[in-house]
Amino acid sequence: MNNLKAFLEDLYLLQDLDLLLDQVKDPQYLETFGFTVSDDKIKTLEEKRNDLAKKLRAINPRWYQIYERLRRRYKRGIARVIDDICTNCFVQLPASMTGQNPDELQTCPSCGIILIWID
Amino acid sequence: MIEKLLREDRIILDLKAKDKEGVLREMISVLNLPKDKEDLLFNSLMQREKLGSTGIGKGIAIPHCRSVAVDNITLVIGISKNGVDFESLDGKPVHLLFMLVATPMDPSMQYLTALGNIARIARGLASEESLRTDFSSPKEVIEYLLKFNNE
């Protein structure tokens, strides 16, 4: 895949937007903390999210579909690797997975989440 | 829960920045993250602010987000003696900021629990006649805040 790093950066931006949207639509969150969020602003954020999703789908439909499938399952599609451990399922990765492959996205052999290494 | 998050090295007694963006950058800087992670975190916090200010009034703000930039749930306290324009609900400057950042993965609901603790402290602080900003040490800040958490 060309420019995998840029794709990955957009993918975790998409995840940040998805997590933020999940949060601000959660009635418990709004009620407990008394924060106010206007519907118009949520709509604007959703449009931004959908534009980004469209861009990622156009670049690599397969990986975008994997992200969406993982989102439905885990509420997130990507997870960091910290100390050789997947932070989604907390399983130690095989010794062969030593860092970001510059040519291909990698998934956790245990839970399937898309893995990212950030130093 | 909140006791574990309050760390002396993550308390800024006198914020220098005067606006929202500057203050968030200054608070992020105490985490000593690489530049790319700093930017990721800043963008996530600002994205949340764009939906509606986390300045809850009475001089208090609770900027917060989830981000891949951090390894663990993290709290930074910032005190601004002069006050910061944070577009708060009551339009008044913010003097006390609780910046809470959690990882995207939060199996034990630490994020919401911590936010709940902070909200309780904020309610206690808001009931005071005036918000205190004259602390001589981070330890003093921690003791002061915990008093409201335990009430």
pLDDT digits (tens, 9 = 90+) for A27-79: 877 777 777 778 888 899 999 999 999 999 999 999 999 999 999 999 889 99
- pLDDT value for B134: 92
What are the residue ranges of helices labelled H in chain B?
A: 2-5, 20-29, 35-51, 110-126, 138-149
How many domains is chain B built from?
A: 1
Per-residue pLDDT 10s for chain B (151 aa) are 788 999 999 999 999 999 999 999 999 999 999 998 999 899 999 999 988 889 988 899 999 998 888 988 999 999 999 999 998 888 899 999 999 999 887 766 788 888 888 988 998 998 888 889 999 999 999 999 998 887 7
Question: Domain coordinates of chain A in residue numbers?
Answer: 4-116
Interface of A with B (CB under 8 A): 12-13, 15-17, 19-20, 23-24, 28-29, 32-38, 41-42, 45, 76, 78-80, 82, 87-88, 116, 118-119
pLDDT tier at A23, thresholds 50, 70, 90: confident
CB atoms within 10 A of CB B3: 11
Active site residues of B: 64
Query: Interior CA angle at B51 toward A6 and A88, to 5°?
Result: 50
Of B71, B138, B73, give the one whose Cα is nearest residue B112: B73
Q: Which amino acid is at A5?
A: K
Tokens 């006390």 sit at which residue? B96
How many Å lie between the alpha carbon of A46 and the closest alpha carbon of chain B? 11
Strand, helix or coil for residue B94: strand
List the domain range (segments joined by +) for residue B52: 2-149
d(CA B146, CA B151): 9
CATH code of the domain covering residue B26 = 3.40.930.10
* Residue pairs between chains A and B whose CB atoms are closer than 8 Å: 74
> Smallest Cβ distance to B68: which of A24, A41, A116?
A116
User: How many helices (H) and strands (E) would you count in chain B?
Assistant: 5, 6
> Smallest Cβ distance to B68: which of A33, A80, A119?
A80
- What residues have CB less than 8 Å from B95, skipping those under 6 apart? B59, B60, B79, B80, B81, B83, B84, B131, B133
d(CA A69, CA A20): 18
> Smallest Cβ distance to B51: which of A19, A37, A87?
A37
